[in-house]
Structure 1
Amino acid sequence: MAVVVSSRLHSYACCLLFIIISQASAQPSFVNHFCVSDEGRFAANSTYGTNLKTLLSNLTSNTQIDYGFYNLSYGENSDRVNGIGMCRGDVKPDECRSCINNSRVLLTQLCPNQKEAIGWYDKCMLRYSNRSIFGLMETSPLFYTLELVNATDVDQFNQVLENLLRNLTGIASASGDSHRKYAAGNASAPNIETIYSVVQCTPDLSQQDCNRCLVEAASRIENSGKISGRVATPSCNIRYENYSFYDQPSTTADAPAPSL
């Protein structure tokens, strides 16, 4: 009998462990995040903390917004909270709202009492602050990552990537509007991998600020010769891969092959 009980307990423990692992792996996680301590902290039961909870709960409540950009303020004076949520330009409205709502849960857990914080998923970004953050071009805090693997032909790859990012930057900044500043496309040349990329600014930026943000961001990754990279700031982000990672892009651009 003891053996049977032990076996059942073992089976239960294994099943429980499997469920825990499955649930944990199903939870989304940030690509990166920052808890910005420079703007101060708040107590859990403070007015600011209450206002933050209210803002994040209401951020995506406007279901008429179908273009993936949410901005909202709540509260008064020093207890006023400003929030921005933005999804990648190809993400559908329901998936966008889900991503941002998951973000608000995780970001407040990771940054439990900082007045300012920002986090990036693959498909959305969330940030909030006690200062005004609307219409400002900000490139800090930022992060960038690069794949360890080099392209087959580094020089040619770099040239094609530079052309592609330049074209997409022009489209996103010049053709975008107050709803969306986003472009996606791919480019290839003989003997190199096809490069797929998206670039995006928060649509509250001017054309000039969007262009400036993307140019500065691109400078951190475009000459690396790596087959994959991304850079993200509060105001804009860039990602490129050697495989297609986005759905139907809102606009496409094919970069010309470099002169060899």
Structure 2
Amino acid sequence: MFLQAIINGAEKPGPTHQSFKCKDSGNFKSNDLLTCRDDAFKSLYKSMGKPGRYTGFDSSFDTNAQMHGVWTYALCPPNIKMEACLECFNNTIPYLIKNCPKQKEGVAWTALPKVTCILRYADYSIHGDFAEWAWTSFSTPPNETSANVAELEKGLTLLANNLKEKAAGGDNNKKFTSGAIPYGPGAGNAWPLYGYMQCTPGISKDKCIKCLNDANRFIHNCCGKGRKLSAIALSTNCYFWCAHMDFSPKKL
């Protein structure tokens, strides 16, 4: 009943973009484990919604009588309201269940107008697990920045270099930072470029930096060459979100 309420609640508002990947590692062999997965999602939703403890990341585990279990986690920006993360999570749970109905491991990403979230599950402990087997990217419609490709590519690299050490230097509760840089033709004519970077808190600083470097390369390949106004690259463990507008919570 609880999970069905989440699914019904996810019908609107609909997500701006969604993507998923199911890992090719086989299927659950019993309905008990599928129930464990659903129960783990329920526990994760309840835990993330507890007042006063929202950090943008939470995890959950559920097991059956044979001591086989399913682990889950969800990641959102920590500087948004808890309700915005739960809205994103609401949209992602039924989407992931629908598209990875029996697989042992899967991940899904949802982008709403004001927040992006990651939801992952597996039949083994994934807290602290560094896994780059799945990536996706989203961008704005074909609106283009007035910067040329070389200028934008240079700006993206500078922004990533400014943010990644700060994000990776976080603790076991939060690995996140945001910031902005001017880039372009020079003083008085520069464009602002804003960014978020975040990793799952359980991974090490070095692995977080590697993930964010890979996200930066993904952004260059998917969106820099297209001169996109806004783009995000996401994996199972991190994301890099950049835009030509200030999308901090006070501006959303």
Q: What secondary structure is seen at the aligned counterpart in 2 of 1:106?
A: helix
Instruction: Report if aligned partners of 1:151, 1:193 keep a CA contact under 8 Å in 2.
Output: no
Contact 2:234 2:240 (8 Å CA) reproduced? yes
Offset, 1:59:
0.8
The aligned amino acid for 1:202 is T
2:22 to 20, 30, 35: 35
TM-score (norm 1): 0.77
Question: Structure 2 CA distance, aligned partners of 1:184 and 1:145?
Answer: 19
CA distance, structure 2, for counterparts of residue 151 and residue 89 of structure 1? 31
Does 2:117 match 1:131? Answer: no
Q: Following TM superposition, by how much is the alpha carbon of 1:79 offset from its aligned partner in structure 2, in angstroms?
A: 3.2
Q: Evaluate the alpha carbon distance shift between residue 192 and residue 158 of structure 1 in structure 2; reply closer, same or farther with a 3 A threshold.
A: farther
Supply the RMSD in Å over aligned alpha carbons: 2.5
Q: Does 1:71 align with 2:59?
A: yes
Report what 2:193 is aligned to: 195
Question: In 2, are the aligned partners of 1:68 and 1:87 still within 8 Å (CA)?
Answer: yes
* Structure 2 gaps, min length 5: 1-9
- 1:150 Cα deviation from its structure 2 partner: 5.7
Secondary structure of 2:157's match?
helix
Name the counterpart of 1:168: 163
CA 1:146/1:29 → structure 2, altered by over 3 Å: closer, same or farther?
closer
**Contact between 2:156 and 2:216, CA under 8 Å: does it hold in 1?**
no
Given candidates 17, 33, 40, the residue that maps to 1:48 is: 33
Matches of 1:166 and 1:78, distance apart in 2: 44
- Selected match of 2:95 from 88, 106, 113: 106
Pick from 175, 178, 191 the counterpart of residue 181 of structure 1. 175
1:114 and 1:159 mapped to 2: Cα distance?
40
What is the aligned-residue identity percentage? 25
* Residue 145 (structure 1) shift: 4.4
Q: Could you tell me how far 1:245 is from its partner in structure 2?
A: 2.5
Output the CA distance in 2 between the equivalents of 1:31 and 1:205.
25
Greater gyration radius: 1
- Give 5+ residue unaligned stretches, structure 1: 1-22, 250-260
Query: Following the alignment from structure 1 to structure 2, what is the Cα–Cα distance between the partners of residues 212 and 24?
Result: 36
SS at match of 2:21: strand
Q: Which residue of 1 aligns with 2:204?
A: 206
Structure 1 consecutive aligned stretches of length 4 or more whose deviation exceeds 4 Å? 145-148
Work out whether residues 119 and 127 of structure 1, in 8 Å CA contact, stay in contact via their aligned partners in 2: yes
CA separation of 1:220 and 1:199: change in aligned 2, threshold 3 A: same
How big is the shift at 1:125?
A: 1.1
Distance in 1, matches of 2:16 and 2:243, equals 20
- The answer to whether 1:26 aligns with 2:13 is yes
1:203-239 Cα deviation digits (max 9, x unpaired): 1111111111111221222473423332111011111
